[in-house]
Structure 1
Amino acid sequence: MMAYAFLTWIVLLMLLRVIAYETVQDAAIISRHMVEHSINSIGTMATVYPSDHPTMAGQPFGLQEYYASCFSNGSLTLLVLPISRHSQNILHSPVHSASITISSQHPAASHSRVSLLGNVTVYQDWDNVFEEEAIKACYLGRHPDASRWLPNDEDAAHIAYWARFDPHSIYFVGGFGDEHYIGYIPLEIYQNASAARGVAGRVLIEQHA
C-alpha cells in the first residue's frame, strides 16, 4: 500500500512538472514581449574582434547597446557608429555577425532572458533606407537622446548609419529548468509570436530585404 501511494505521488509530481513547463510557443511570446516592451530598450551586445586586430584578434567583446524593436518579424533597428568598438567589429566581420541579450525587467537567475544571434545589415547609403522616417520615429521613440547622432546629420557628433539586426537563432532561458523552458526557439515561431500586435499601439514595420 505504501509503495502504491509513493508511486502515485511520484506520478503526480511528474504531471505537475510537465504542466509547469513553458512550451516553445510560450517562450517565443515571452521573448518577444521582453524585447519589444523593455523599459530601456538596451541589450547586452556581443561581437568578436577582427582577425587582423593587433592585440585582441578573435576575442569576444560585450557591452550594453541601444536597440529598437521596429519590425513585425522581430528584427531590430540599430545605429552603427564607426567610432564604436561594436560597430568596428561588426563592419569587419565577413557576415556582420552579433548577438544581443535581453533580460526581464528585474534580472535574476529565476527570471527570463533571451539571446538573439544574427547578422547586421548596415545602410551606408543614407538615401536608400527603407521606411527611414518610420525607422527614425521608432528609434527616437525609444531613445530620444539619440537625436544628437542620427545618420545624415551635418551637426551630429559622429558619423552614423541605420542598421537592421536580423536574428537567425534564438536561445531562451525562462528561469530554472525544472519549471521553465530552456533552449532554442525556432526562428519562424519567434517571428510569428507577436507579428500583428505592435508596440504600445503602434503597428510594427513589415520586413523588407
Structure 2
Amino acid sequence: MLSRAFAGLLALSALPIASASAIPHGQAILNTDEITSSPLLQESEATDANTLIRPTWFESALLARRMLALSPSGVVSTIFPDPIPPSSRTPASVAGLPIGLREYIADCDTSLPEDLSHGDNGDPTILALRVATTFKNIGAGSNLSLELDWWDHVDKAIPVYPGLPWSPAALPRITLFGYLDPLPQLSNQKAAALEKCFLRSHPDAKVWLPGAPGSPHASFWARLIVTQVYWIGGFGDVQQIGWMNVTEWKGIGRWESAAGVGDGRGWEDVRLPGEKSEDSI
C-alpha cells in the first residue's frame, strides 16, 4: 500500500501545472483534472476537487514574508574559523566546518528609530550574545545564513494528496543569505519600542537584553541584511521552489507592497498552511 502511494506521488510530480492568481489560504493541491486522474485517488475518494493550484512567485514571496513575521527563531549557519584560535576550547578538527544553531529573531524593523529603520524590508532583528558560537564565528569572519520553516504546523495543515498522511516536507521553509549588521547602542527611549517588539515573542530574553542590569551575558542588537532568498514552498508539483526575487522580498510590507512590486498586496493578505488565529500577530 505504501509503495503504491509513493508511486502515485512520483506520477503526480510529472503532471503539468497551471498558473494561478488566487490567494493561497491553505495547502495548495492539484487542479480538478489532475486530482481525479491521480493513481492515489484509486485508493481514496476525491473529496476536495477545488481548483487550488500552485501559487505564483509573488504569492510565494508574500507567504515567505509572512513566515518571517510569525517566526520567533531560526537556525543560523556559520563556519568555524580555520585555524581555530589557540585560546579557544573548540576542537581543532572542526576548523572550517559549518555549524547550525537556533537563535532568537523577530521581524522588528518597524520598531527601530526612523534613522535606523530599513522600511520594513524583510531584514530580521537578532539579539546576539557575544558568548554564543554563532556570533563568535561571525566575528571571526564567517558568512551566515538563516533558515526558517513552518514544519511545526504539520498537525494543523491539510494533507496535499488525499490518501497520504500529513508531511512536514509539504510545508514551506526558507533560507535567507546575507550579513550581520550590528546596531549602534540605543538610548533607553529609542530602545523601548524595539524591546517591546522583541519581547512579544521572547519574554524570557528580558534578562539578557543589551544593558540589562545583572544580565548573565553581554549582548547587542543586530539585523540580518538579506541579500539572497531561497524558498521551498513544499512539494514542487504544487509549490514554487528556487531563488526569490530580492526586490519583491524587500518591497513587500505588512499591509501593502511598494509601487511596482507584484499586485500591491501585503503579507497580511495571505495565510500559511494550517495557520490558526493564535499564530497571527
Q: TM-score, normalised by structure 1?
A: 0.78
Q: Which has the higher strand share?
A: 1
Q: What is the DSSP-based 3-state SS (H/G/I as helix, E as strand, rest coil) of the residue aligned with 2:239?
A: coil
Aligned pairs for 1:103-118 (under 5 A) are: 103-104=149-150, 105-106=152-153, 108-118=168-178
Amino acid at match of 1:75: D
Alignment identity in percent?
29
| Structure 2 residue ranges without an equivalent (≥5) | 1-14, 20-52, 85-91, 110-119, 155-167, 256-265, 269-278
How far is 1:22 from its partner? Answer: 2.1
Aligned to 1:73: 121
Aligned to 2:57: 24
Distance 1:131 1:168, change over 3 A: farther
How far is 1:181 from its partner? Answer: 0.3
Aligned pairs, how many? Answer: 183
Indicate whether 1:191 and 2:247 are aligned: no
Amino acid at match of 1:18: A
Alpha carbons 1:117, 1:170 under 8 Å: kept? yes
Aligned to 2:96: 58
Distance 1:133 1:59, change over 3 A: same
Aligned-CA RMSD value: 2.5
1:49 pairs with 51, 62, 80, which one? 80
Aligned pairs for 1:87-166 (under 5 A) are: 87-93=135-141, 97-104=143-150, 105-106=152-153, 108-123=168-183, 125-127=184-186, 131-166=190-225
Amino acid at match of 2:128: V
Amino acid at match of 1:148: V
CA distance in 2, matches of 1:161, 1:50: 22
Aligned to 1:207: none
How far is 1:21 from its partner? Answer: 2.6
CA distance in 1, matches of 2:61, 2:190: 26
Q: Deviations over 1:88-147 (max 9, x none)?
A: 011111xx6321111114251111111111111123x53479942222111111100001
Indicate whether 1:85 and 2:133 are aligned: yes
CA distance in 1, matches of 2:245, 2:190: 28
Aligned to 2:3: none
CA distance in 1, matches of 2:186, 2:62: 35
Q: What is the DSSP-based 3-state SS (H/G/I as helix, E as strand, rest coil) of the residue aligned with 2:153?
A: coil
Q: What is the DSSP-based 3-state SS (H/G/I as helix, E as strand, rest coil) of the residue aligned with 1:28?
A: helix
Q: What is the DSSP-based 3-state SS (H/G/I as helix, E as strand, rest coil) of the residue aligned with 1:183?
A: strand
Instruction: Tell which deviates more after alignment, 127-136 or 63-72.
Output: 127-136
Q: Deviations over 1:23-57 (max 9, x none)?
A: 2101110101111023xx11111111112313322
Distance 1:29 1:56, change over 3 A: same
Distance 1:109 1:129, change over 3 A: farther
Amino acid at match of 1:29: L
Alpha carbons 1:81, 1:158 under 8 Å: kept? yes
Q: Which has the larger radius of gyration?
A: 2
Amino acid at match of 1:27: S
Distance 1:189 1:122, change over 3 A: same
Amino acid at match of 1:92: A
Q: TM-score, normalised by structure 2?
A: 0.59
How far is 1:201 from its partner? Answer: 9.5
